[in-house]
Structure 1
Amino acid sequence: MKICFIGPSMGDCGGVQRVMAVIANGLSADHEVTMISLDNDTERSFYPLADKVRLVNYNDYHYNKNWIARGIRGLAKRRQKVLPASLAKYAYFPEYLIDGVCNLVKQGEYDCVIGSTVSSAVLVGLMKEKLPGVRLIGWHHNSYEIYFQTPVHGFLIQRKLSAIALRKLDALITLTAHDAGKYQEQMKINAGYIYNPLSFSSQQKSTLTDKILLFVGRLERKQKGTDMLLDIAEELFHHRGYGDWKLRIIGNGSGYKDTEEDIRRHGLEDQVELLGEREEVIPFYREASVFVSTSRWEGFGLVITEAMECGLPVVSFRTDGPSEIIRDGQDGILIDNYRKGQFADALERLMTDEELRKRMGTAATERAEEFNLAHILRKWESVLTGDTPYL
């Protein structure tokens, strides 16, 4: 089978790109796999791709630059009003843009095309009539509420168009059962879900004895809650007397400088290590004793399963993805959104009770086995062939 992924720049570091690379590499063992990377400014992928995975950059992909279309987008963004489907299509997905991507798909003679972001999934749905005989799949990496009920990603504006386009797909895959249900409830789309796979396996686990808390993720304050993370760190290190512990923060993003400033503002320069972007994160998981996720929303939480694979208990707010991954009280602790005091209490329990950490760490390792790549690839094979369209 010839498979084509359409998605974001693979030159960027991010959870979407990481899991796309893992799935593409896995499928390339038995299939021809191409990744069409939209607006990529580099010839390489940030995450390693198998030799059999071909990367194609399509840098002519961009929104309609017509001044009327730009005006519609600007006004809609300011007012956060849902546009009529026809107007949204004119402003965001003009025919020449659809035709350009269609031509790439036709040239590749692909059997299956996977739109790997919400925007790409809508684009692929709008290509349906132009690609007879090609199996078209959408793959969403965040929650329905974030895409279509808040202005964060801008698809609130395009909700009517998105509903029409996504219904045309042969399958829509989300990351959680919660989100699959939301698409059925809100858009009458019979979606399925497949959890993200682990991107690595680790025979060596953390000893859970070093006094290190770990955060891994994009440094974007609004989503990842780095402001709350440092509020909690100040409470623990300055007010509850755990100054002998450290918090390591791994990641980069638009909020990097804000995070630096927050560390200084809280007086945490001696307790918080801001380590930036790292291609190799496994050693940091192995050296930590508790993993921390302070996201205000999380479609899945790939770093949570990675932490579990390395034997770490996890403390997270009760958002969509983590709520399906973490078994509260067994392999981690879920905190009501966004109770920072409760979060600090949970961390304090784990910081002071090594036996509890180790019991939860063992359970976390067992839970991580359910996200192994071979298991996840079998589900994707069923979707690609249409044998099990809705999981």
Structure 2
Amino acid sequence: MRILFYCDTVFSFGGVQRVLAEIAKALSGKHEVTILTTDTCTDLSMYGYAESTVQFDSFSYSASSFIERLLCKSYSFLYKHGLPHTRLTSKWYAASFFPSSYKRTLARKINARQCDVVIGVHAFMALHLSAVKSRIRTKTVGWLHNSYEAFFEKETPYLPGLDCFFQVQMGKLDERVV
């Protein structure tokens, strides 16, 4: 099985990074495992990657156009500060939170890997996967390394006011792991 993990940072200190390393290394014993990352550092000695068969594919998103950023920011502001949070407005917000140029780049990278499953590591990467779900030819899994309370209910939540959007987007994924 070809497994692709999509994450922002791999080579830094943190719980998600450490757990990803352990899972990726364990799976690489029987499967082809690649980590697709926007991280520019490649310290393979970190977390013992040098002794594993885990592969890495780094990339960066090109700057989006001024018009694209303006449209995305404008709708994002409206959604967060004025529009009712319904399934319809959440779908519209889904079109603005992750620019179209980024969606094209991510879908191309995932499709080029020809993997059996792609796992979005942490909430934002899982949301990115849900945004490109219709453009890719693989199973998708959202890995949420946190609790519902941390995302929406604690005093300073990670995703304030985005619970309807989150519910709509996570429903697009084939599976979710919390």
Fold-level similarity (TM above 0.5):
yes
| 1:45-83 deviation per Cα after TM superposition (whole angstroms, max 9, x unaligned) | 542214311111122177886134335556767x59875
Corresponding residue of 1:5: 5
Change (3 A) 1:131 1:168: same
Give the distance between the partners of 1:82 and 1:64, measured in 2 at CA. Answer: 28
- Match of 1:57, as an amino acid? S
State the TM-score, normalized to the length of structure 1.
0.39
The 5 Å alignment of 1:20-59 reads: 20-38=20-38, 40-45=39-44, 46-49=46-49, 50-59=51-60
- Match of 2:14, as an amino acid? G
Corresponding residue of 1:94: 99
Give the distance between the partners of 2:144 and 2:167, measured in 1 at CA. Answer: 14
Relative contact order, CA 8 A, sep 6+: which one is greater? 2
Partner SS state of residue 47, structure 2: coil
Equivalent in 53, 67, 70 of residue 67 of structure 1: 70
The reply on whether 1:162 has 2:166 as its aligned counterpart is yes
The reply on whether 1:136 has 2:126 as its aligned counterpart is no
Deviation at 1:171, TM superposition (A): 1.3
Partner SS state of residue 141, structure 2: strand
Give the distance between the partners of 2:70 and 2:120, measured in 1 at CA. Answer: 28
CA RMSD of aligned residues (A): 2.7
Give the distance between the partners of 1:80 and 1:143, measured in 2 at CA. Answer: 27
Deviation at 1:22, TM superposition (A): 0.5
Give the distance between the partners of 2:35 and 2:62, measured in 1 at CA. Answer: 14
| 1:216-269 deviation per Cα after TM superposition (whole angstroms, max 9, x unaligned) | xxxxxxxxxxxxxxxxxxxxxxxxxxxxxxxxxxxxxxxxxxxxxxxxxxxxxx
Give the distance between the partners of 1:48 and 1:82, measured in 2 at CA. Answer: 47
For the pair shown, the structure with the greater C-alpha radius of gyration is 1
Contact 1:6 1:113 in 2 (8 A): yes
- Match of 2:111, as an amino acid? K
The reply on whether 1:115 has 2:120 as its aligned counterpart is yes
Partner SS state of residue 168, structure 2: helix
Partner SS state of residue 72, structure 2: helix
The number of residue pairs the alignment matches comes to 170
- Match of 1:160, as an amino acid? C
Give the distance between the partners of 2:61 and 2:91, measured in 1 at CA. Answer: 23
Unaligned runs of 5+ in 2: none
Give the distance between the partners of 2:112 and 2:130, measured in 1 at CA. Answer: 19
Partner SS state of residue 35, structure 1: strand
Deviation at 1:91, TM superposition (A): 3.0
Deviation at 1:90, TM superposition (A): 3.4
| 1:202-222 deviation per Cα after TM superposition (whole angstroms, max 9, x unaligned) | xxxxxxxxxxxxxxxxxxxxx
State the TM-score, normalized to the length of structure 2.
0.81
